[in-house]
Structure 1
Amino acid sequence: MCAHSSGAMGFPLRLLAREVYDRVVAIKGEKQVALITGEERIEPPNARYFLCTAEAMPKTQGGPNGELAFVALDEAQLAANRERGHIFTDHLLHTRGREETMLLGAATLEPLVRTLLPGAEIVERPRFSTLTHIGPRKLSRLPPRSAIVAFSAEQVYAVAEMLRRFRGGSAVVMGALSPETRNRQVELFQSGEVDYIVATDAIGMGLNLDINHVAFASLRKFDGVRQRRLFPAEMAQIAGRAGRHQRDGTFGTLSGTGGTRDKGIEPAEFSEEEIYAIEEHRFAPLTHLLWRDSQPRFDTLGTLIADLERNPHEPELRAMPETIDLAVLKRLADDAIGRDVKGPAQIRRFWEVCSLPDFRQQGAETHSRFVARLWQDLRDGYLGADYAAARIAELDNMQGDIHTLQGRIAAIRSWAYICQRPDWVLARDEMAARARAVEAKLSDALHGRLTERFVNRRTALLMKSLGQDASILPVTLAEDGNLLVEDESIGTVTGFRFTVDPSADHTDRKMLLAAGEKALPRILGERARTLAAGTMDELVLEKGAIRWLGQTLASIEFGGGAARPVLTPARELAILNDPDKGALIEALERWLTAKLEPIAPLAKMEQATRDAGAGSEARALLLTLIAGHGYVSREKAGLQHLPKEMRPFLRRLGVTFGALDIFAPALLKPAPRQLLKAGGLDRRPLQPAMIPVIAGEGKLPSGYRPAGKQFVRIDVAEKILKAAHEVRAKSGKKRFAIDPSLAISTGLTADSFKRLLGAAGFRIHPAKQLGEGQFGPPRPDGWEWRPSRKKEQRQQPQAPREGNAFAELAKLVR
C-alpha cells in the first residue's frame, strides 16, 4: 500500500487496524494517514492512506483526489462467517482500488475467488515453520511460552486460577476484553513476566505472539446456535499461533484436569485426520459465502427488511442468517416506535441506529431497548453534548470486579461508537475523546483486576530466584514504604514496623518474612539516622506516646512529673542496632523537651514542691494544683491551712487566687491544654480552641466551670467576678448594680451570668417592672454580696458500740 500514491486496508479487528495504522504513520507521517473504526476516527484533512475495520470501510473507496490507488481486505475468508460474513463478501465483490486490489485470506477461499472473480491472480505464501502434534500434556508439564485455549469465560478462569497457584500466573485474552486490555495482557506475556497465556479462540486472529506450544483445553465451542466441535481449519487457525516465521511450534491438548470437569473443561483429543490436516495445512475448501444486499431500498420499513432478507442469485452465495442488527430492526418495526418511521431519509437513519453493534452481547431483546431509547433522541436531531457527557460520566467508575468492568467497557464502547458519528452527536470530537478516555481508564482497571487475580508475580519470583535462601535477594525500601525484592512488594514498612503482605500464603509468608528481616536492620538503621538528624517535624504527641507515620516510637511516662518524663521505646525499635537506637532515643528526648515547653509552669510548680522554704501548706496546695493540671476549686484547695504570707510565693509561680478557683492562667491557653491531653496527663474532655464560653452539654471540659446551661473558662469567670467585686467596692453600698456587658461580650447568657455570680456569693434582687403607662429603660437588677459564713467542720468518727474491743480506746480520743 505504501508503494502506491494512496490506499486503504480493511481489517477484521480494531486492534489490527490500529497496529497497521501506527506502522504506516511511521512511514508516511500523521497528516497522510487516517484511522477509521466503529469507535475511533482519526481523519486528517489531506489523508491519503486509510486503515479501517471492515464495517467502517466505505463501499466505494474515495479520497481527496478521487478513487484510491490501492485497496486490500484482510482475512477475506471471513466472508463465510455467520455473524459478519456479508460485510467481507460485499467488499470482496465490490470494493476496488484504481491500480490494485488485494484480498488476503486462507487458501480455503481460493475456489470461490476463481468462480466469483475469474480475473483474480492467486498468489500463495507458504508457512515458513512447521506445526507438530505432541499429544496431551498435564498443566504441570506444559513447556514455558505456552498458550492454553478454552472456549468460555468459565474455562479460561479455571485454567488461569490453576496456573496462578502452580506456575505463578498467566495472561488472559478473551473476545469480551477491550482491545486496550487485550494488548496489555499480551504485553504481560510478551515481556516474559509470565510464561503462559490463557485465551479463547480470539487468540487465533490478529495476535502475533512468541508462543512455542498451543494446548487446547477443549475442542468444542458454542457458535451462537449450537455446541459443536471445531472445524479443522479453525483448529489450525488457533494452533498456528505456535511458532513464528522460521521457528517451529507444537500443539496438543490439556490433560489431567479431572477436577475441573464441572467447570466446563473436558478431556479432548485430536483425531488422526485432524492432526494430518493441521500439520499439512490441508483443509476442505469453502463451498459458499454469506451475502446480504448492501444497497437495500428505503421506501418503507417492510421494503428494507425484505431486501435485507432477499436471497442472492449466484449459487456460490447464501443468504446471511439473521444478524443482531436485522433482528433489532424487525422487533422495532413491529413496535409503536417503528410505525412512526416514514420517508426514505428517516428510514435510512433508523436503519443506521439499528446497526449499532451489540457490544454488550446481551441479545436482540435487550439491545433493541437500548436502540429504541437512542432513536427517541436521534429521530429529530442530535444528541446534546450534555446528555452524552452525562452518560459517559456514569460509566467513569473504576470500582468493581472483572465482570462489572467488562460490562462498563462494553457500555462505553457503545457510546464511543455513538459519539464518533458526526450526524448523531453535537461536539463530536470532544465527546468521542471523552468516551475513549473513559474506555482507556476502564481497560487499565480491568487489566489490573486480571493481573491481580491471575498473576502472582511474587510466587513466580520465588520459584525463579529465591529458592530456600532469602538472603540472596536485593531488598530495597521504596518511598511509599513498600519493601521490595526485585521490584516486587513483600510487605510494607510503616514507621519502624514491618508487615508481611497479608495476601501471601503460609509458605510464601515465611520466606518473605525471612527476606525482610534479613535486610531490616540495615534499612531501618538508615531511617533512624535520617530521622534523628532531621527536624522531626512529622512527629506527633498523641495519647501519651510519640508517633511517626501513624506508628508509636515511644510511650511517655510522667511518673517523675511533667518536668521529668520517661521514654519507653516501642518494641519495633528492638531490631535496630544499639548505636542507631541510642541516637534515635536521644533525639526523641530532645524533641519531647522542646514539645513540652507550653506546660513549663507545671514543671516550675513541681520544682517548687522540692523547695525547703516553701512550707508544707504551700507544697500541699502546689501538689493539688499539679494533680488538677493547673487549677482547683477554692473548696478543694484547703486555703484555710495556707498562711497568708505564703501567697506572694505562689503568685510568683504564676498562681492566681480567684473568687471561685485557684489556677495558673498560663495553663488555660489552648496549647498547654492540648499538650496535657496529648501527653496523657489530663484525661478529661478537651475543648481544643479553649474559647471563653461553650454550651453546657456533656461532661465538663478541662479548664472550665459550669454557669447555668453554659461552661465558662475559669480565667474568664474570674475576670467577670473580679469586675463585679470592683463595682461592689466602688459603690460602698449594700446593694449595687452590676453591668452585664462584659459577661455578655464573652458569650454568657443573662441566666448563666446570674448563676455564675450566685456561685461566687452574690445575691440578686430583681428590679420591679415598669407599671402600665410608664415608659423608659428598665430598672437594673440590684445585687448584694452575701458569702457563706459556714466553716468547714471535720467529720467526727462514729463512736464504737458498747462492748466493742475499741470502746475503751475511743475514750482516749481528744
Structure 2
Amino acid sequence: TAIVAFSASQVYAIAELIRRERGGAAVVMGALSPRTRNAQVDMYQNGDVDFLVATDAIGMGLNLDVKHVAFADDRKFDGHQTRPLTPAEFGQIAGRAGRHMHNGTFGVTGNATEFDEELIVQLETHDFEPVKVLQWRNSDLDFSSLAALSGSLDTVPEKKQLTRVPIATDQQALEFLSRNEAAGLATSRKAVELLWQCCGIPDYRNISPAQHGEIITRVYTDLIRRTRVNEDWIAEQVRFCDNVSGDIDTLSNRIRQIRTWTFVANRRNWLADPTHWREKTRDIEDRLSDALHERLTQRFVDRRTSVLMRHLRDKHMVSPEVNDRGEVSLEGHLIGSIEGFRFTLARSDDGDSKNLRAAASQVVAPEILKRAERLSGAPNEEFVLATDGTVRWRGEVVANLAEGDQLLTPRLIVLADEALTGPELERVQDRLNLWLRHTVNTQLETIMQLAEPADLDGTARGIAFQLSEHLGLLPRSAVADDVKGLDQDVRAKMRKLGVKFGAYHIYVPLSLKPAPRELALILWALKNGGVRQPGVSDLPQIVLSGRTSFLIDPEVNPKLYEVAGFKVAGKRAVRVDILERLADIIRPLIALDP
C-alpha cells in the first residue's frame, strides 16, 4: 500500500503512526536525493515494510509494485496556492497502483474526505476533461543583451491554446542578476549566454530568490573574471556539506546544498579540475544520502515490529529463537522474553501498541504450547514452591498458590497468556495439581493422617483432628481436659501416629523439620493475611539454620512463630521441642526439691 500526502509534515505524521502500529513505512518525497528515494523504495519492494508514504513525487523515476494507493488529502500546495486536486491529478497518482502487472485499487485514509461517485467513475474509466490550454515558454531566446533576453522570455504565445508559464526560478534569477554587478559584466552575446546558463543552476534548497541569486552571481562573476569558479570558495562550500551527522532535516538540507555543487561540477569548463569535484561532490552526496536513509529508517521503521508482521504473513519464515534466559529473538531482533507461559514484550520508546503485542503473542504462541507439553510430562523434582506462594518449573514461575476450601487443600492458579487455552491449559493445570497434592501429602504426611485416623475415636480422634488443623502443633492448654481423659492405650496409639505429649504442647516432632514447617507457614498464611506478610519468607530460613531461640520481630504475627514451631516467651521465640526437653529436665528436679 502507498499512502500519498501533500506535505512533509503530513508524510512524517502518517509514517510515525504506521511505525507504531504496523512496523514502519518507507518514505518518498521530492526533496530526497534519488539515492535516498531508491533505498527507501527498496525496503518497500523487498518486503521489509508493507507501506510506502509519499508525496505526489511517488512517480518520480520510480518503478513500483503498488497494489493500493490511499489518498491522505484531496488538496495540495502547487507553489502558489493550496487548491483541490484535479480529477486528472487524482488519476495520475491512483494510476501508480497495479499498472500492467495486476489490477490495482485506490481509496482514502481515515481522515480524508471520501471520493464522490462521479470522481470514482472518472478514475476507473480514465475519462477526464480534455486539456484545452498548454503552458508555454519561448525557446527562441535573444542573447544580444540582457534586456533582449528578458524580453524574449516574456514573449506571449500566439496561439490561443497556449498560455505563458509562471515565472520560473531561472527567470527570477535573471531578474535578480540584471539588477546587480553581474549585469555590468554581461556585455557580449557570449557573456549573456553564460549568464543564462548560470541562472539554470537549480534552487534545490528552495531558498529565497535573493539568496539563490547571490550564489549565481558569485559563480558568474568568477567565470567572467577568472574563466573558472574559485576553487577555494567551492572547497569551502563543499566542506560545509561534508558532515553525515544530524537529524533528517539537517541531512536533507546538506544534500540539497551538495547537489548544487554537483550540478556546478558537471558543467563544462566551469572548474579547473571538474573530474575531482565531480567525484568529491558525488561521494559526499552518496554518503549524505545513505545517512539520510539510515535516519529515515531509524525514525519510521521499527525493525522488530516489521519482522513480526512479516512472520505472521509468511509461515515459512524461521521460528523465533529462545535462549537460556528466556529472551525471544526473531531474525536477530529482540522481541521480548518468556517466563513460564507468559510473554513480555521488550520495551520500546514508542510504548507498546496493542497490534504489536498481539503480533508478538501470535509469534511466540507455538513456543508456549511446546512448554506446556514439556511441563505435562515433567517429573516432580522440576517443580519448586517458594515462600511467596509461587510455583516454579525449571526456575520459571508458572503458577501461584491460592487458598482452598480447607487449610490442607490449597489450589493452584496457572499463570499463562491467552496463547495457552483449552486442552493444553487443562493438561498443565492437571499436572500441577497432581504435583501439589503429592507435595502436601508427602511433606505433611504425619499431619494429614491425623485428619481422619482410622484407629482413633471419641476424644482422641477430636484431639488428632485439632492437631491436623493446627498443622501438627497444639498448645496443651487448649485440650488439657481432653488429654486428662485419655488412657495409656489410646496415648500409645497416638504416639504410633507420631504424636508427642509434652508439658506445654502436643505436637508431631517429624513435622517440625524445615520442609514441613515451610509448607505449613505458607498454607497458614494463605488463610490468614497472605503469604507476603512479614515473617513468612524469613522464618523458614531460621528453622533451616537450626537456631533454637532468637529475638522476635514485633512486626510479625505471633501466631506465625507458633506455626513455625516456636513458643513466644517474652521477647524471644524458643523452639518447641527444645522447650519441652528443658521441661523434661526441670520436672524431676522440682520433684526432688524438699
Q: TM-score, normalised by structure 2?
A: 0.54
Alpha-carbon distance in 2 for matches of 1:476, 1:383: 62
Residue equivalent to 2:379: none
Structure 1 residues 363 and 320 mapped into 2: Cα distance closer, same or farther (>3 Å)?
same
Alpha-carbon distance in 2 for matches of 1:466, 1:191: 16
The answer on whether the counterparts of 2:320 and 2:328 sit within 8 Å (CA) in structure 1 is no
When structure 1 is superposed on structure 2, of 271-280 and 176-185 the one drifting more is 271-280
Please say if 1:219 is aligned against 2:74.
Answer: yes
The answer on whether the counterparts of 1:211 and 1:243 sit within 8 Å (CA) in structure 2 is yes
The answer on whether the counterparts of 1:476 and 1:485 sit within 8 Å (CA) in structure 2 is no
Which aligned runs of 4 or more in structure 1 are off by greater than 6 angstroms? 507-512
Structure 1 residues 271 and 419 mapped into 2: Cα distance closer, same or farther (>3 Å)?
same
Alpha-carbon distance in 2 for matches of 1:298, 1:409: 33
Instruction: Choose which of 156, 166, 179 in structure 1 pairs with 2:11.
Output: 156
- Paired AA for residue 278 in structure 1: L
Alpha-carbon distance in 1 for matches of 2:357, 2:89: 45
- Paired AA for residue 277 in structure 1: Q
Residue equivalent to 1:177: 32
Instruction: Choose which of 279, 282, 305 in structure 2 pairs with 1:459.
Output: 305
Secondary structure in 2 matching 1:326: helix
Please say if 1:309 is aligned against 2:138.
Answer: no
Please say if 1:473 is aligned against 2:320.
Answer: yes
Structure 1 residues 151 and 502 mapped into 2: Cα distance closer, same or farther (>3 Å)?
closer
Residue equivalent to 2:263: 417
Residue equivalent to 1:382: 228
Alpha-carbon distance in 2 for matches of 1:366, 1:420: 22
Within 5 A, what are the aligned runs for 1:61-460? 146-255=1-110, 257=111, 267-380=112-225, 381-460=227-306
**RMSD (Å), alpha carbons:** 3.2
Alpha-carbon distance in 2 for matches of 1:464, 1:202: 27
- Paired AA for residue 420 in structure 1: N
Alpha-carbon distance in 1 for matches of 2:51, 2:308: 17
Within 5 A, what are the aligned runs for 1:12-91? none
Alpha-carbon distance in 1 for matches of 2:271, 2:323: 52
Structure 1 residues 483 and 314 mapped into 2: Cα distance closer, same or farther (>3 Å)?
same
Structure 1 residues 314 and 440 mapped into 2: Cα distance closer, same or farther (>3 Å)?
same
List per-residue Cα deviations over 1:296-341 (Å, max 9, x = no partner).
Answer: 1122211110011111223332222211110111122122332343
- Paired AA for residue 220 in structure 1: R
- Paired AA for residue 170 in structure 1: A
Structure 1 residues 189 and 302 mapped into 2: Cα distance closer, same or farther (>3 Å)?
same
Deviation, 1:475, is 5.8
- Paired AA for residue 270 in structure 2: W
Secondary structure in 1 matching 2:140: coil
- Paired AA for residue 258 in structure 2: I
Q: Larger % of helix: which?
A: 2
Alpha-carbon distance in 2 for matches of 1:432, 1:448: 24
Deviation, 1:377, is 2.1
Alpha-carbon distance in 2 for matches of 1:290, 1:431: 37
Deviation, 1:294, is 1.8
List per-residue Cα deviations over 1:424-467 (Å, max 9, x = no partner).
Answer: 11111121111111111111011111111011110122345489
Residue equivalent to 1:23: none
Residue equivalent to 1:638: none
Identity, in percent, stands at 43
The answer on whether the counterparts of 1:475 and 1:486 sit within 8 Å (CA) in structure 2 is no
Residue equivalent to 1:108: none
List per-residue Cα deviations over 1:669-703 (Å, max 9, x = no partner).
Answer: xxxxxxxxxxxxxxxxxxxxxxxxxxxxxxxxxxx
Alpha-carbon distance in 1 for matches of 2:55, 2:4: 5
Alpha-carbon distance in 2 for matches of 1:428, 1:340: 24
The answer on whether the counterparts of 2:185 and 2:224 sit within 8 Å (CA) in structure 1 is no
List per-residue Cα deviations over 1:740-762 (Å, max 9, x = no partner).
Answer: xxxxxxxxxxxxxxxxxxxxxxx
Deviation, 1:224, is 1.1
Alpha-carbon distance in 2 for matches of 1:441, 1:183: 14
Instruction: Give the structure, 1 or 2, with the largest relative contact order (CA under 8 Å, sep 6 or more).
Output: 2
Deviation, 1:472, is 5.1
Secondary structure in 2 matching 1:379: helix
The answer on whether the counterparts of 1:324 and 1:363 sit within 8 Å (CA) in structure 2 is no
**Runs of at least 5 residues in structure 2 that lack an aligned partner in the other structure:** 337-345, 368-394, 396-594
- Paired AA for residue 6 in structure 2: F
The answer on whether the counterparts of 2:248 and 2:295 sit within 8 Å (CA) in structure 1 is yes
Secondary structure in 1 matching 2:135: strand
The answer on whether the counterparts of 1:296 and 1:308 sit within 8 Å (CA) in structure 2 is yes
Residue equivalent to 2:332: 487
Alpha-carbon distance in 1 for matches of 2:21, 2:12: 14
- Paired AA for residue 176 in structure 1: A
Deviation, 1:285, is 1.8
The answer on whether the counterparts of 2:248 and 2:296 sit within 8 Å (CA) in structure 1 is yes
Structure 1 residues 226 and 207 mapped into 2: Cα distance closer, same or farther (>3 Å)?
same
The aligned length equals 350
Structure 1 residues 269 and 504 mapped into 2: Cα distance closer, same or farther (>3 Å)?
closer
Alpha-carbon distance in 1 for matches of 2:237, 2:272: 14
Alpha-carbon distance in 2 for matches of 1:472, 1:280: 46
**Runs of at least 5 residues in structure 1 that lack an aligned partner in the other structure:** 1-145, 258-266, 492-499, 519-574, 576-814
Deviation, 1:205, is 4.3
The answer on whether the counterparts of 1:466 and 1:472 sit within 8 Å (CA) in structure 2 is no
Structure 1 residues 489 and 325 mapped into 2: Cα distance closer, same or farther (>3 Å)?
farther
List per-residue Cα deviations over 1:647-677 (Å, max 9, x = no partner).
Answer: xxxxxxxxxxxxxxxxxxxxxxxxxxxxxxx
Structure 1 residues 483 and 385 mapped into 2: Cα distance closer, same or farther (>3 Å)?
farther
- Paired AA for residue 319 in structure 1: R
Alpha-carbon distance in 1 for matches of 2:232, 2:182: 25
The answer on whether the counterparts of 2:319 and 2:330 sit within 8 Å (CA) in structure 1 is no
Structure 1 residues 213 and 502 mapped into 2: Cα distance closer, same or farther (>3 Å)?
closer
Structure 1 residues 501 and 390 mapped into 2: Cα distance closer, same or farther (>3 Å)?
farther
Deviation, 1:395, is 0.8
Structure 1 residues 476 and 445 mapped into 2: Cα distance closer, same or farther (>3 Å)?
farther
